[in-house]
């Protein structure tokens, strides 16, 4: 099934726009899991098992795995294999390189790791993004306006009467249709999100920054105006407890967020 259809179905099936980010920092996962071999994988599998009926997607940030080299690569593989088939897997890799090289990042994210979608950095322009868009089944989420403070440094600079992130959106809308291309817009910018949505009416928005980063779910949903959206929460859910009940507490938190993010 095409990723776009899988997203729409997963949101409907679980009545949830919630995506859980498996940012499984080994220093923050409970001690008793941290100190066993394969603890990080066990942690991920426990979180997936206890939340799989509450989400439409899991987002896996590659940085948390890449830092462990070969071992991390193995945990990443096995985590992805643990995600149910009807839930969307987003490789949050923020890759991008010149054309012939981006090809290989696309191969890595889509084929090697088997993700349904990948996040891509737009800075290098069209030929750095197209290799990802060439895959007819999968989806690419282009970084438009990110949730962090540094998003003001370059993304919000104005050029020809509009900010750079709107240049990214408006230009890239011509590169692929909404079934292949979505945008990352941080939950910390509801007004700007409304502006992106006004141009990208049918594109899926991937919205991080709810929870620890302070984004407000209600404001975001208003700004999103009913378009297709995946709202990511990481730390507030997965690190809900440091004790043996961590998976149970993660579920409890996920239920709270799901209520905010029902269709």
Using CB under 8 A as the binding rule, whether residue 151 contacts its own copies is answered as: yes
Q: Among 46, 155, 232, 236, indicate the residue that binds its own copies (CB under 8 A).
A: 155
DSSP string, 133-146: HT-SSSEEEEEEE-
CB-based contact 204:7 (threshold 8 Å)? yes
Please say which residue, 4 or 110, places its beta carbon nearer to its own copies: 110
Q: What three-state secondary structure class fits 227?
A: coil
Please say which residue, 73 or 219, places its beta carbon nearer to its own copies: 73
DSSP 111: I
C-beta atoms surrounding 164 within 10 Å = 17
Please say which residue, 125 or 227, places its beta carbon nearer to its own copies: 125
Using CB under 8 A as the binding rule, whether residue 38 contacts its own copies is answered as: no
Catalytic residue among 2, 9, 94, 171: 94
Query: Which residues in the 104-133 window bind its own copies by CB under 8 A?
Result: 104-105, 107-108, 112-113, 121-129
Q: Is 94 a catalytic residue?
A: yes
Question: Smallest gap, in angstroms, from Cβ of residue 120 to its own copies?
Answer: 11
CA dist., res. 61 & res. 191, Å (int): 26
Q: Among 94, 134, 178, 252, indicate the residue that binds its own copies (CB under 8 A).
A: 94
Question: Smallest gap, in angstroms, from Cβ of residue 108 to its own copies?
Answer: 4
Question: Smallest gap, in angstroms, from Cβ of residue 216 to its own copies?
Answer: 18
Task: Return the range that interacts with its own copies (CB under 8 A); candidates 145-153, 193-201, 216-224, 241-249.
Answer: 145-153
Q: Among 36, 63, 225, 244, indicate the residue that binds its own copies (CB under 8 A).
A: 63
CB-based contact 123:150 (threshold 8 Å)? no
Helices (H), the chain: 3-13, 31-34, 39-51, 63-66, 69-81, 99-106, 126-133, 164-172, 190-199, 217-224, 235-238, 246-260
CA dist., res. 21 & res. 132, Å (int): 22
State the virtual CA torsion across 166, 170, 176, 178 in degrees, nearest 10: 70
Output the CA angle 89-134-74, nearest 5 degrees. Answer: 35
Using CB under 8 A as the binding rule, whether residue 148 contacts its own copies is answered as: yes
Q: Among 101, 137, 173, 260, indicate the residue that binds its own copies (CB under 8 A).
A: 101
First CA to last CA across the chain, in angstroms? Answer: 22
Please say which residue, 67 or 201, places its beta carbon nearer to its own copies: 67
Per CB under 8 A, residues contacting its own copies are 23, 25, 61, 63-64, 66-70, 73-74, 77, 94-105, 107-108, 112-113, 121-129, 143, 146-155, 157-160, 164, 167-168, 171
The residues annotated as belonging to the active site are: 94
């Amino acid at each position: 099934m095409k990723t776009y259809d899988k997203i729409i179905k997963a949101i409907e099936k679980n009545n949830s726009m919630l995506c859980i980010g498996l940012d499984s920092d080994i220093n923050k996962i409970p001690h008793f899991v941290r100190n066993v071999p394969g603890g990080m994988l066990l942690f991920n599998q426990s979180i997936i098992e206890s939340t799989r009926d509450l989400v439409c997607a899991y987002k896996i940030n590659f940085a948390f795995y890449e830092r462990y080299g070969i071992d991390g690569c193995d945990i990443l593989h096995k985590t992805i294999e643990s995600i149910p088939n009807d839930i969307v897997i987003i490789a949050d890799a923020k890759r991008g390189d010149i054309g012939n090289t981006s090809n290989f990042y696309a191969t890595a994210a889509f084929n090697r790791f088997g993700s349904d979608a990948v996040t891509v950095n737009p800075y290098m322009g069209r030929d750095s993004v197209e290799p990802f868009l060439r895959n007819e089944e999968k989806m690419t989420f282009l970084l438009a306006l990110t949730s962090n403070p540094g998003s003001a440094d370059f993304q919000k600079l104005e050029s020809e009467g509009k900010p750079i992130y709107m240049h990214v959106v408006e230009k890239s809308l011509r590169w692929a249709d909404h079934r292949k291309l979505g945008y990352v817009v941080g939950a910390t910018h509801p007004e700007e999100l409304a502006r992106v949505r006004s141009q990208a009416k049918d594109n899926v928005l991937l919205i991080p920054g709810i929870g620890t980063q302070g984004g407000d779910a209600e404001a975001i949903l208003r700004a999103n105006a009913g378009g297709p959206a995946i709202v990511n929460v990481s730390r507030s859910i997965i690190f809900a407890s440091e004790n043996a009940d961590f998976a149970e507490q993660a579920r409890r938190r996920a239920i709270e967020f799901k209520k905010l993010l029902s269709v």
